[in-house]
Structure 1
Amino acid sequence: MSEERERPESPPPAEAPEKVAAAREFCEGLLARMGAAVTVEVKESPEAIAVALRPQPGNAIELGSALVEALQYLVNRVVNPRAEGRKWVNLDVGGFSDAEDPVVKAMAARLAATARRTGKVIAIAPITARERRQIHLALVDAEGVSTRSEGEGLFRTLLVVPERAGGRE
């Protein structure tokens, strides 16, 4: 086995600015082609790339949740073509934040409680990528359970795993 394969794969620090630029370019380009009058603001944190979409006066395109979900999926596929070195791109329209949805947060707490109580893995599908991420974030420090996603695209499933049924992975 070569020495290169034995080392853990992690992106070089220079890759993050490229990902930020790719996210901006993709969002601006696609929205312009759609005829959307939107200002794109991009900020980077150690964990993610935040892209704020600010509709301008005269914007004829409604940035509804379905469109934002689709755009977020596409930009993440463009910015993160491979699993290694992945840096999540989060789209924000009108100040909405992943961590601020109380309904999804409450659902995450109920799922964790059920998994702990029954000792069984709970599979959740179909839910949007944004909802999956919200549940992962809500349960990242939850005692007695872990989460993971399996599958691809429309068949991606969120699993809430009690520690005694598989532990943290």
Structure 2
Amino acid sequence: MKKIVVTGKTAQDAIASGLRQLGVPEARVKSTILEHPARGLFGLIGAKDAKVELELLPDPLEEAEAFLQEVMEAMQLRDIRIEKKQSREGTELHLFGGELGMLIGRRGQTLDALQYLVNIVANRYADHHLRIVLDAEQFRERRKETLRGLADRLAERVIRTKKEVVLEPMSPQERKVIHSQLQQHAKVRTFSRGDEPNRRVVIVLR
């Protein structure tokens, strides 16, 4: 971690000077007063400035991105671009470029596992809980569209056969898509059954 030692007439002056040098807000540093200011004899002779050590604290998102880069290098995935975006879900990290299929995995399972690890890394350095959503080549939006279409087709099957349909186990996020898609449906309703990681959505007649 980067550390600098700065001086000023007061400790706050020294801290302000250090923050300007580092180009960060005060929340990003840990300050330690090494020497308090002294006025000296008659307020002049032997006067000393305050001396403060500032330690730059890790930025959670920067640490998360560095972790991602290490993983992609280990997987020999090169020329990958990371784009950040804020949404209602939290901070979204979108990956573009290269062959990202192996990073996505079957039905996004590898991507979900990597997202879990990225959140652990980021929250290790955060002073409040962060939620990071990881996506690759807009897989999550494409997957949502697939699930919405699946929900509509299976709802029609339930209406036609008058028998419940039990879907394959899904993550909480994917189950939420199914529930939301059919929430206002006039003829069917949904609920979840089972325990994680084998919890499933069930579609039945109202």
TM bucket normalised to smaller? 0.5 to 0.7
| Aligned equivalent of 1:139 | 182
Q: 1:40 aligns with which of 78, 82, 88?
A: 82
TM-score (norm 1): 0.53
| Aligned equivalent of 1:152 | 196
Identity of aligned pairs, percent? 22
| Aligned equivalent of 2:136 | 92
| Aligned equivalent of 1:124 | 167
| Residue pair 2:91, 2:132 contacting (<8 A) in 1 also | yes
Q: Which amino acid aligns with 1:53?
A: L
| Aligned equivalent of 1:69 | 108
| Aligned equivalent of 1:53 | 95
Whole-angstrom CA distance in 1 between matches of 2:183 and 2:63 = 28
Q: CA, structure 1 residues 73+114, in 2 after alignment: closer, same or farther (shift >3 Å)?
A: same
* Alignment gaps of 5+ in structure 2: 1-58, 121-128
Say which structure, 1 or 2, has more relative contact order (CA 8 Å, 6+ apart): 1
| Aligned equivalent of 1:4 | none
Whole-angstrom CA distance in 1 between matches of 2:64 and 2:182 = 27
Q: Which amino acid aligns with 2:109?
A: A
C-alpha displacement of 1:159: 2.9
Q: 1:28 aligns with which of 62, 69, 84?
A: 69
Question: What do residues 87-121 of structure 1 show as CA deviations (whole Å, max 9, x unaligned)?
Answer: 4724131x455267655432211223444667765
C-alpha displacement of 1:63: 1.5
Q: CA, structure 1 residues 71+43, in 2 after alignment: closer, same or farther (shift >3 Å)?
A: farther
| Residue pair 2:89, 2:133 contacting (<8 A) in 1 also | no
| Residue pair 1:150, 1:158 contacting (<8 A) in 2 also | no
Report the more deviating stretch, 28-37 or 134-143: 134-143
Q: Max radius of gyration: which structure?
A: 2
* Alignment gaps of 5+ in structure 1: 1-16, 165-169
TM-score (norm 2): 0.46
